[in-house]
Chain A
Amino acid sequence: MKKGMIKVSDGFERIVHWSMAISCLILMITGLGMMFHSFNFLGIPVGGLKNLKLIHNFSGLAFIPSLFFAILIWWKEAGIFKFPEDLEWIMVAGGYLWHVDKVPETGKYNPGQKAFFWAVAFFGVVMSVTGLIMWFPLSFPVELVRWMYPLHALGFFVLFPFFFVHLYLGTVGVPGSVSAILTGWVTRSWAKKQCPKWLKEMEESGKLEISE
């Protein structure tokens, strides 16, 4: 590894991230196959729509614990908005949409990422609860079960855009980001741009891990 790289994620974070990412991807693809008749063909490679449903349900079971750990490990850094600096960041959209001379400095996660955290935390729970009830609907009252389906669809409506923006900004949109969640190491210049306040705090407290 190059010298002077900075550690931004530990092994457990990366495991949780990827178990969520993989289960979410499978859930979205299999869900799509059941939501639209024009995507029914997604069931063909797995031997039919019934198997697609089973894969969807069991991926959901993998998603639930990863969601639990994701909330547990990230709520402190990504779950708490800090005012007024986060508001200032939001007012200029973090410099992502138009040219901004001086983007307000953020900690480890910017307000956009915090919004993503909350969307996933809240709608992740909604998806889990509604999904489980939809799996065993005969044990619940009719009127309750009926509303689980639109709530599940609402979850997709909210989560997909967040997911895609996360994917875009985590890869080609912000070069140098992928390694943060693949190996855990990023360049100093990336860290200075993406989490300046966090970098400063870590340096001051002497906790910053730098590769040698």
Chain B
Amino acid sequence: MSEKIKLCDLSKCTGCRGCQLACKQWNQLPAKQTVNTGTYQNPPDLQPNTWNIIRFQEISDGNGGVDWLFRHDACMHCTDAACVKVCPSGALHYTKYGTVALDSGKCIGCKECVFACPFEVPKYDPETDKILKCDMCYSRIDNDMEPACVKACPTGALMFGDKTEILKVAYERARELGGDASVYGDKFVDGTHMVYVLPEKAGIYDKLPEKPRVPLSVIAWKDWLKPLSLLAAGGVIAGSFLHYITHGPKDTSGDGDQVSKEGGE
């Protein structure tokens, strides 16, 4: 099965939030009462019941004016996904399309993925004691449909398809845009399954790390300490057995031994 990726061309995004709504509709995530925080961005961050949002951001255009940036934010579906690495129950897992899906029944609410994800995507729901996040509409893509957000996008900012094809489109588009435009996503964590065409420099966007990577703490924990602790535990069990059959147990019987003579008199 070929890898599938979602392309998000921010130069075409109008911030209509059709993707945000379509996601809620398909995944049956009714919105809760929201609060006006003085921005179109609502809710303020990804939530257990909001798996993608449009981030609204104002930046100076350098000529006294203001540029308004819109960014569709959702799970990046890393190839080397820190969340899958830390998940103790296997609830977070890779699919045959390379995306990262979630088996909610297996989730034990440990929140380890919340702290592992370099994009801060998984969100904890205290009501169900579960983690929730975008699964790239696995139920749809496994039936040859696009994710709901892509289907709803009216401007073609969101595209979905085979990795090689979509990446080609992304690079062509970035070249076409010129200037600071770049492709974001295919060069780190072994390639994400959502890639952006960013019209501005990567560092400008809110909450979008310039060089995301699996945190060193996760590597130290899962790649170093886990195998080392198996080695140490196995070594000491085998060592104790070898000790017993070669050196033998200590003789603690009788009174006529050297140590007790010296000690006792």
A interface with B by C-beta (< 8 Å): 34-37, 40, 48-50, 52-53, 95-98, 101-103, 105, 134, 137-138, 142, 145-147, 149-150, 153-154, 156-157, 160-161, 164-165, 168, 172-177, 187-190, 192-194, 196-197, 199-200
Closest chain B residue to A102, Cβ basis: B258
B232–A157 touching, CB < 8 Å: yes
B32 near A: Cβ within 8 Å? no
Chain A residues whose CB sits within 8 angstroms of the CB of B253 once the complex forms: 175-176, 187, 189
Q: Give, as a whole number of angstroms, the nearest-CB distance from A32 to chain B.
A: 9
Q: Give, as a whole number of angstroms, the nearest-CB distance from A132 to chain B.
A: 14
B88–A173 touching, CB < 8 Å: no
Most buried by A among B221, B228, B243, B257: B221
Q: Are A49 and B247 CB-contacts (below 8 A) given A35-B88, A161-B232?
A: no
Chain B residues whose CB sits within 8 angstroms of the CB of A34 once the complex forms: 88-89, 110
- Inter-chain CA distance A172–B258, complex, in Å, is 22
Given contacts A153-B226, A161-B233, A192-B259, 8 further A-B contacts (CB under 8 A): A50-B129, A103-B259, A105-B263, A146-B215, A149-B115, A172-B244, A193-B250, A196-B263
Chain B residues whose CB sits within 8 angstroms of the CB of A154 once the complex forms: 225
A175–B236 touching, CB < 8 Å: no
A175–B252 touching, CB < 8 Å: yes
Chain B residues whose CB sits within 8 angstroms of the CB of A95 once the complex forms: 250
Chain A residues whose CB sits within 8 angstroms of the CB of B86 once the complex forms: 149
B124 near A: Cβ within 8 Å? yes
Chain B residues whose CB sits within 8 angstroms of the CB of A168 once the complex forms: 240, 243-244
Contact of B255 among A103, A138, A147, A192 (CB under 8 A): A192
- Inter-chain CA distance A103–B251, complex, in Å, is 13
B226–A35 touching, CB < 8 Å: yes
Chain A binding surface, main DSSP class: helix
- Inter-chain CA distance A161–B231, complex, in Å, is 10
- Inter-chain CA distance A172–B249, complex, in Å, is 7
Q: Give, as a whole number of angstroms, the nearest-CB distance from A205 to chain B.
A: 16
Q: Please count how many residues in chain B sit with their CB below 8 Å of the partner chain's CB atoms.
A: 49
- Inter-chain CA distance A53–B257, complex, in Å, is 50
A174–B225 touching, CB < 8 Å: no
Chain B residues whose CB sits within 8 angstroms of the CB of A35 once the complex forms: 88, 226, 229
Q: Are A197 and B260 CB-contacts (below 8 A) given A137-B111, A189-B252?
A: no
B254 near A: Cβ within 8 Å? yes
Q: Give, as a whole number of angstroms, the nearest-CB distance from B248 to chain A.
A: 9
A160–B236 touching, CB < 8 Å: yes
B112 near A: Cβ within 8 Å? yes
B259–A105 touching, CB < 8 Å: yes
Chain B residues whose CB sits within 8 angstroms of the CB of A52 once the complex forms: 108
- Inter-chain CA distance A160–B115, complex, in Å, is 26
Chain A residues whose CB sits within 8 angstroms of the CB of B243 once the complex forms: 96-97, 168, 173
A175–B240 touching, CB < 8 Å: no
- Inter-chain CA distance A177–B88, complex, in Å, is 38
